Structure 1
Amino acid sequence: MRQMLNTLFVTTEDAYLSLEQENVVVNEGDRVMGRIPLRALESILCFSYKGASPALLGKCNEFGVSFAFYSPQGKYYGSVLGEANRNVLLRRRQYHMADDDNEVCSIAASFVMGKIFNARQVLERATRDHALRINVPRVKKQSARLLAALRELDDCQTADSVRGVEGDAAKCYFYAFDDLILTNKDDFYFEQRSRRPPMDRMNALLSFIYVLLSGDCRSALQGVGLDPYVGFLHTDRPGRSSLALDLVEELRPVFADRLALSLVNTHVVKAGDFEVRENGGTYLNDKGRKQVLSAWQKRKNEQIMHPFLKEKVPWGLVPYVQALLLARYIRGDMDAYPPMFWK
């Protein structure tokens, strides 16, 4: 149980939430984990199998506190919204901003700034931690190019120019990505990003983890009342959760890429965990998917210091924190959206 940004996060799998006067009470079996006044909350995100009492949900409706239900793994089930809930105004504001070229440019630049900053941090960390095992001059050169790309963002006047900077920065980052693979170089290598289908084991691993991260980002946005299909960096396309993909971008290098590299470099994932199909596409097999899913859940439980909140949170809650911050910005409660900068 954790309270952040006027939001109660309940992450204990067997927790049950009930009402006591005007307080939400979080119980684990016979133990009371905490009591929080409903008047102090804007929303509750519950990652528990047991859920909440009808009396509590009724009082949340009365007080305008949104209640979102998730599985313990982060799959979004649905929300209970009261008549006083502001989600309709939030979404109207989101749609209005998505039609405003200046707003689209500004928000897209924030996502890309987070992505490039974090990608550069991944490269810089590698030069510090593995200086004797990687081509440091080559990695440093790409890191310098990423720093230049960050500065270019300040001059971007359109969303298309932001997308151009993002595309060039991604090429610089992936140019050095193979250096970050420290072991099993015959089985795991990286020449360029390939999708639909991924053409080698490393791309297959990245694609699978990106799908997991995209699902968590989509669930996070749905839970805070935003439309995950209306984005800023990614344009609208039928069936594409564009805003979730926007949020993925800033988290991709530090959440997904670092996990993929760790799985390979520590021999958790091996060549036998993949299969090659007739079209040349490479995919994780059942055994490989189980290995990655297990590692994914462990990584989500690891604590990091959130740079904006200045407090420790599990990696698994980071998409939800960022979704809340984005909702606050869109609602007008913040002057700017603060990307997640990993340090």
Structure 2
Amino acid sequence: MTELLRTLFITTPGTSLHLEGDTVRIHHPDKPGRHILPLLRIEHIVVWNGVDVSNDLIMRCADDARGITWMSRNGRFLARVTGHQTGNPLLRLEQTRAYDSTQRRLTLARTIVAGKLQNYRQLLLRAARDLDPPARDDVRDVADQHAQALTAAAQATSLTELLGIEGNAARGYFQALPTLSSHAPPRRSKRPPTDAFNCLLSFGYGMLRTAVTGALEHVGLDPYIGYLHGVRPGKPSLALDLMEELRPLLVDRLVLTLFNRKQITAAHTTTDPAGGVHLTEEGRAFFLGTWSKARERTWRHSELDRDVPAALLPLVQARLLARHLRGDRALYTPWVAS
């Protein structure tokens, strides 16, 4: 049995975190009173720029292998402290051997793309049920194109060919999103996002990357040696790989729901002089609240034949990948919603 522990999010500038016995004390000069949480209830701490974390608390979390992650105001990963690395070094050797093998790397990359395309289709087909013709037919056509892309991806003979298939499918997917929400633009913009929809997507992807990176480190895998995304300095490529199958239903679906329910307001975002759109403090707090609730939702996992909370899906998939790399499983199976 795996206990679902909470992630502590601290977004308000001027807040400071301190170690007090076996608890974390949260202090802000404008919020009087004594606010503490038992460390046993926290598996991860995520803080934003302007939040101070005491050295004592950092050292205690490192000793307990409790991660602390620093994020930018739009959810971009900045830094992470994890303490000693867990896991068997033999596993990381197998991870590297799989990367060095052209065929093993291509096989894993194909599987990653297949999981992403399957969940693209799941999101589109579910959303199409609530649409009227011709919008419903247009969205189903894109889902059919993804079915064709799945066949092509399974037959790809090189990473270059596979990345081309994945890129075309992604463009078609984002071009279909405006049919699902009038707030969604027909393309993805980032660094910085230029509209509120992409701003929330970027923030959500940042939160998901933090969760996936932590899961990989927990099972002893190196987040920086990936298969679809390869090896790039400063990029947690394996985390980006595992995110692919999770993004459509854990982040994209959530953002679409928030806009379609008109829960995102002008107070949640702000635009800088260069046209970049950023979340306000109110917007960050609101999204984190909905993100935390969404992480409690259970999804069916066909491989385990049971329901799994969204918060545990990255850990489950990291463990399945580790078992495959160790030779305990012939294949890595991506999570596909059913």
Q: Which range, TM-score by smaller chain?
A: 0.7 to 0.9
Query: Who is 1:10 aligned against?
Result: 3
1:143-182 to 2 correspondence within 5 Å? 143-181=143-181
Amino acid at match of 2:330: D
Query: Who is 2:88 aligned against?
Result: 87
Q: Indicate which of 36, 39, 61 corresponds to 1:49.
A: 39
- Separation in 1 of the partners of 2:212 and 2:225? 13
Q: Indicate which of 283, 291, 296 corresponds to 1:296.
A: 291
- Separation in 2 of the partners of 1:11 and 1:317? 7
Any conservation in 1 of the 2:85–2:217 contact (CA below 8 Å)? Answer: no
Structure 1 residue 70: Cα displacement: 5.3
Structure 1 residue 49: Cα displacement: 2.2
- Separation in 2 of the partners of 1:199 and 1:231? 29
Query: Who is 2:227 aligned against?
Result: 232
Amino acid at match of 1:141: D
Query: Who is 2:57 aligned against?
Result: none
- Separation in 2 of the partners of 1:308 and 1:123? 23
Q: Does 1:306 align with 2:320?
A: no
Structure 1 residue 248: Cα displacement: 0.5
Any conservation in 1 of the 2:88–2:220 contact (CA below 8 Å)? Answer: yes
State the Cα RMSD in Å: 2.2
- Separation in 2 of the partners of 1:331 and 1:171? 35
Structure 1 residue 154: Cα displacement: 1.9
Amino acid at match of 2:162: V
Mean CA deviation greater in 189-198 or 111-120: 189-198
Structure 1 residue 80: Cα displacement: 7.2
Amino acid at match of 1:155: Q
Query: Who is 2:252 aligned against?
Result: 257
Query: Who is 2:328 aligned against?
Result: 333
- Separation in 1 of the partners of 2:329 and 2:160? 25
Q: Normalised by the size of structure 1, how large is the TM-score?
A: 0.76
Query: Who is 2:10 aligned against?
Result: none
Any conservation in 1 of the 2:176–2:186 contact (CA below 8 Å)? Answer: no
Structure 1 residue 137: Cα displacement: 1.8
Any conservation in 1 of the 2:4–2:312 contact (CA below 8 Å)? Answer: no
- Separation in 2 of the partners of 1:306 and 1:70? 26
Q: Does 1:97 align with 2:98?
A: yes
Paired residues, number: 276
- Separation in 2 of the partners of 1:265 and 1:78? 41
Q: 1:200 to 1:80 in 2, by over 3 A?
A: closer
Amino acid at match of 2:159: A
- Separation in 2 of the partners of 1:224 and 1:134? 47
Query: Who is 1:214 aligned against?
Result: 209
Structure 1 residue 306: Cα displacement: 1.1
Q: Normalised by the size of structure 2, how large is the TM-score?
A: 0.77
Structure 1 residue 76: Cα displacement: 7.4
- Separation in 1 of the partners of 2:289 and 2:260? 17
Q: Does 1:122 align with 2:112?
A: no
Query: Who is 2:18 aligned against?
Result: none
Unaligned runs of 5+ in 1: 4-8, 14-47, 52-66
Structure 1 residue 144: Cα displacement: 0.9
Structure 1 residue 272: Cα displacement: 2.4
Q: 1:255 to 1:133 in 2, by over 3 A?
A: farther
Any conservation in 2 of the 1:268–1:291 contact (CA below 8 Å)? Answer: no
- Separation in 1 of the partners of 2:307 and 2:178? 31
Query: Who is 2:111 aligned against?
Result: 110
Structure 1 residue 12: Cα displacement: 4.7
Any conservation in 2 of the 1:91–1:227 contact (CA below 8 Å)? Answer: yes
Partner deviation per Cα, 1:247-289 (whole Å, 9 max, x = no partner): 1111110111001111111222223211111111111111111
Amino acid at match of 2:116: K
Q: Does 1:315 align with 2:305?
A: no
- Separation in 2 of the partners of 1:220 and 1:131? 37
Q: 1:291 to 1:134 in 2, by over 3 A?
A: farther
Query: Who is 2:280 aligned against?
Result: 285
- Separation in 2 of the partners of 1:76 and 1:110? 30
Structure 1 residue 50: Cα displacement: 2.3
Query: Who is 2:266 aligned against?
Result: 271
- What is the percentage of aligned positions where both structures have the same residue? 37
- Separation in 1 of the partners of 2:82 and 2:173? 36
- Separation in 1 of the partners of 2:133 and 2:284? 29
- Separation in 1 of the partners of 2:325 and 2:65? 19
Amino acid at match of 2:334: P
Unaligned runs of 5+ in 2: 7-37, 42-63, 69-79
Query: Who is 1:137 aligned against?
Result: 137
- Separation in 2 of the partners of 1:234 and 1:171? 18
Q: 1:253 to 1:171 in 2, by over 3 A?
A: same
- Separation in 1 of the partners of 2:159 and 2:292? 35
- Separation in 1 of the partners of 2:3 and 2:286? 26
